[in-house]
């Protein structure tokens, strides 16, 4: 402001002097004086403009001396120098922070890949390069599914349900087992975190094999014992009342053990990663109709059972597995609902997703138990579960089957009022039959 008015005063002064000269001498002298002095003023500014331009063309203007300038130009150079210094300091701080962050993510034992909204690689750390056999310099901007080609990964990416990690074998090195977790963040970007769980998986395989082997070994002796008890009861081998009661008790416990062994073997089969899910087109309406009939015979008229088929949608997956999962939910609804209660089975299609719901008016479940229901042997009331013939493995089996089909279980319940178990299937598992 000061220099602007300074310049204005100079121009006004020159105008006044030119006016004076016009009055004292003549107009030609006045005009000559005026033009020459204005020309000198323009030359002065042009000179400093050239100095400024030269200074700004230097790559690092701050490292060279700030040009000298008189009047307004001295101030302009000083202010610009200050601005450039502040700018370069914050640039330096930013790049130091970025370098610290880069070093920290590089030192992480996990692989980290940043994916943009079209799932292209924006950045990755060295561990992820090792995990997926990629090279950031070569593969930046590449679609992740071109590099991580496992079918399960493509399906996992499509489901948009990343609450559980995905376990895959590395494509080139089958010995390496990775746990992959996608974390959406920011503006539709995703973090792909990979962990090497090879040794963990080895211990887990040993545990699974052990349980499977023990269950398998127990199967035959249990069948023999069960058969023996059955024959003893049929042929009245035991005559005393106490003996008969003991025989009934032993028969019950043997068949409970047999159910346990069968459930453990089912879980082992489901946990086996070699055991891929089949890809059948399943007529769910047919299965639900069968389950409805089975529910009627299990209930033996004690409950009001309804079946509502709102859609013809089919599912892609394993018919046996889904039948077993749905059957578990239906059986539980009947077992945990008192006589006279209601059990509704519903198959619907909503916004691209299909959903199977079993709703009962039974005993219900307290909120605190809901997250733990699918754990093995988790029971709210052990005596009630045993009384109704439960093994405590039913929902664990359901959870495994559903996760193999990228489906998820939603449980809504209120003690004393009843429960609703809904199984949501993703779009890519649902086959909608167009009518007409
Ligand atoms: P179980 O063989 O003991 O029934 P599950 O794994 O099938 O084992 O179920 C775990 C627990 O969840 C059960 O012990 C029961 O307490 C509870 N549960 C399951 N379904 C229902 C239901 N429909 N209503 C109330 N409680 C239920």
Q: What is the pLDDT of residues 8-39, one digit of tens each?
A: 888 889 899 999 989 998 888 899 998 999 89
pLDDT at 400 over 70: yes
Higher pLDDT: 120 or 1? It is: 120
Nearest Cα neighbor of 355 from 429, 415, 273 is: 429
CATH number for the domain harbouring residue 238: 1.10.287.130
pLDDT of residue 411: 96
Same domain, 311 and 235: no
Cα–ligand 1 centroid distance for 402 (angstroms) = 17
188 in a structural domain: yes
Final residue in a domain of this structure, among 143, 177, 196:
196
Higher pLDDT: 171 or 99? It is: 99
Structure tokens at 261: 């062994």
| Percentage with pLDDT > 70 across the chain | 98
234 in a structural domain: yes
Q: What is the pLDDT of residues 44-71, one digit of tens each?
A: 889 989 988 888 888 777 777 788 877 7
> For 163-177, 246-260, 377-391, 410-424, which range has the lowest pLDDT when averaged over its residues?
377-391
Q: Is the pTM of this model over 0.75?
A: no
Same domain, 391 and 322: yes
Final residue in a domain of this structure, among 271, 299, 319:
271
pLDDT of residue 328: 96
Average confidence (pLDDT) over 116-129: 92
314 in a structural domain: yes
Same domain, 409 and 300: yes
Same domain, 246 and 383: no
Nearest CA to ligand 1 atom 4: 390
Same domain, 308 and 410: yes
Instruction: Point out the ligand 1 atom lying closest to the alpha carbon of residue 393.
Output: 6
Final residue in a domain of this structure, among 72, 101, 130:
101
Pocket test for ligand 1, best of 379, 389, 401, 418 (most atoms within 8 A of CB): 379
Same domain, 335 and 424: yes
pLDDT at 327 over 60: yes
pLDDT at 297 over 50: yes
Q: DSSP labels for 316-355?
A: EE-HHHHHHHHHHHHHHHHHTS-TT-EEEEEEEEETTEEE
Q: What is the pLDDT of residues 339-352, one digit of tens each?
A: 999 999 999 998 88
Pocket test for ligand 1, best of 336, 364, 416 (most atoms within 8 A of CB): 336
Same domain, 83 and 10: yes
Same domain, 405 and 295: yes
Same domain, 288 and 426: yes
pLDDT of residue 64: 75
pLDDT of residue 169: 86
79 in a structural domain: yes
Nearest CA to ligand 1 atom 20: 332
pLDDT of residue 105: 83
Q: Which domain, by its residues, includes 23?
A: 2-101
131 in a structural domain: yes
CA dihedral 34, 40, 45, 47 (to 10 degrees): 160
Cα four-point dihedral sign 336, 342, 347, 352 = negative
50 in a structural domain: yes
436 in a structural domain: no
pLDDT of residue 436: 43
Instruction: Point out the ligand 1 atom lying closest to the alpha carbon of residue 380.
Output: 16
Average confidence (pLDDT) over 400-425: 94
The residue with tokens 């962990």 is: 195
Same domain, 373 and 391: yes
pLDDT of residue 348: 96
Q: Is the CB of 343 under 6 A from ligand 1?
A: no
Instruction: Point out the ligand 1 atom lying closest to the alpha carbon of residue 388.
Output: 4
Long-range contacts of 235-242, Cβ-Cβ distance < 8 Å, separation of 24 or more: none
pLDDT of residue 267: 93
83 in a structural domain: yes
Label residue 434 by pLDDT band (50, 70, 90): low
Higher pLDDT: 434 or 253? It is: 253
Non-local CB neighbours of 183 within 8 Å, separated by 6+ positions: 162, 190, 191, 193
Cα–ligand 1 centroid distance for 388 (angstroms) = 10
CATH number for the domain harbouring residue 158: 3.30.450.20
pLDDT of residue 5: 64
pLDDT of residue 60: 75
Nearest Cα neighbor of 208 from 278, 156, 275 is: 275
Same domain, 225 and 208: yes
Q: What is the pLDDT of residues 199-240, one digit of tens each?
A: 998 998 899 899 999 999 999 999 999 999 999 988 888 889
Same domain, 245 and 166: no
Instruction: Please state the domain count of the chain.
Output: 4
């Amino acid at each position: 402001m000061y220099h602007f008015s300074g310049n204005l005063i100079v121009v006004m002064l020159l105008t006044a002097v030119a006016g004076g000269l016009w009055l004292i001498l003549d107009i030609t002298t006045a005009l000559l004086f005026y033009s020459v002095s204005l020309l000198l003023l323009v030359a002065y500014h042009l000179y400093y403009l050239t100095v400024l331009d030269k200074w700004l063309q230097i790559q690092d203007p701050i490292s060279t001396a700030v040009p000298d300038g008189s009047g307004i130009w001295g101030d302009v150079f000083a202010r610009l120098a200050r601005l450039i210094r502040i700018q370069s300091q914050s640039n330096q701080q930013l790049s130091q922070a970025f370098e610290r962050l880069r070093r920290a993510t590089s030192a992480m034992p996990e692989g980290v890949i940043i994916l943009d909204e079209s799932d292209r690689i924006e950045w990755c750390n060295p561990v992820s390069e090792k995990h997926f056999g990629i090279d950031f310099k070569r593969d930046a901007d590449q679609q992740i599914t071109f590099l991580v080609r496992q079918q399960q990964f493509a399906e996992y990416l499509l489901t948009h349900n990343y609450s559980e990690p995905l376990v895959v074998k590395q494509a080139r090195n089958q010995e390496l087992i990775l746990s992959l977790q996608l974390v959406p963040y920011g503006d539709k970007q995703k973090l792909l975190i990979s962990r090497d769980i090879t040794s963990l998986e080895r211990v887990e395989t040993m545990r699974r094999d052990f349980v499977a082997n023990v269950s398998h070994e127990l199967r035959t002796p249990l069948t023999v014992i069960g058969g023996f008890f059955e024959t003893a009861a049929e042929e009245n081998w035991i005559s005393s009342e106490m003996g008969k009661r003991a025989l009934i008790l032993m028969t019950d416990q043997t068949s409970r053990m047999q159910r346990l062994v069968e459930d453990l073997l089912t879980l082992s089969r489901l946990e086996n990663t070699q055991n891929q899910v089949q890809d059948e087109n399943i007529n769910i309406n047919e299965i639900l109709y069968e389950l409805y009939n089975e529910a009627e015979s299990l209930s033996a008229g004690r409950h009001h059972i309804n079946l509502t088929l709102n859609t013809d949608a089919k599912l892609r997956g394993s018919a046996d597995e889904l039948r077993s999962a749905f059957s578990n939910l239906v059986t539980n609804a009947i077992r945990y609902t008192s006589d006279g209660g209601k059990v509704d089975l519903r198959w619907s299609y909503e916004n691209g997703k299909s959903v199977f719901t079993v709703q009962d008016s039974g005993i219900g479940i307290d909120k605190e138990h809901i997250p733990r229901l699918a754990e093995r042997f988790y029971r709210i009331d052990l005596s009630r579960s045993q009384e109704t013939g439960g093994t405590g493995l039913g929902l664990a089996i359901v959870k495994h089957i559903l996760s193999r089909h990228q489906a998820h279980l939603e449980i809504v319940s209120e003690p004393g009022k009843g429960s609703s178990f809904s199984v949501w299937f993703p779009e890519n598992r649902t086959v909608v039959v167009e009518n007409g």
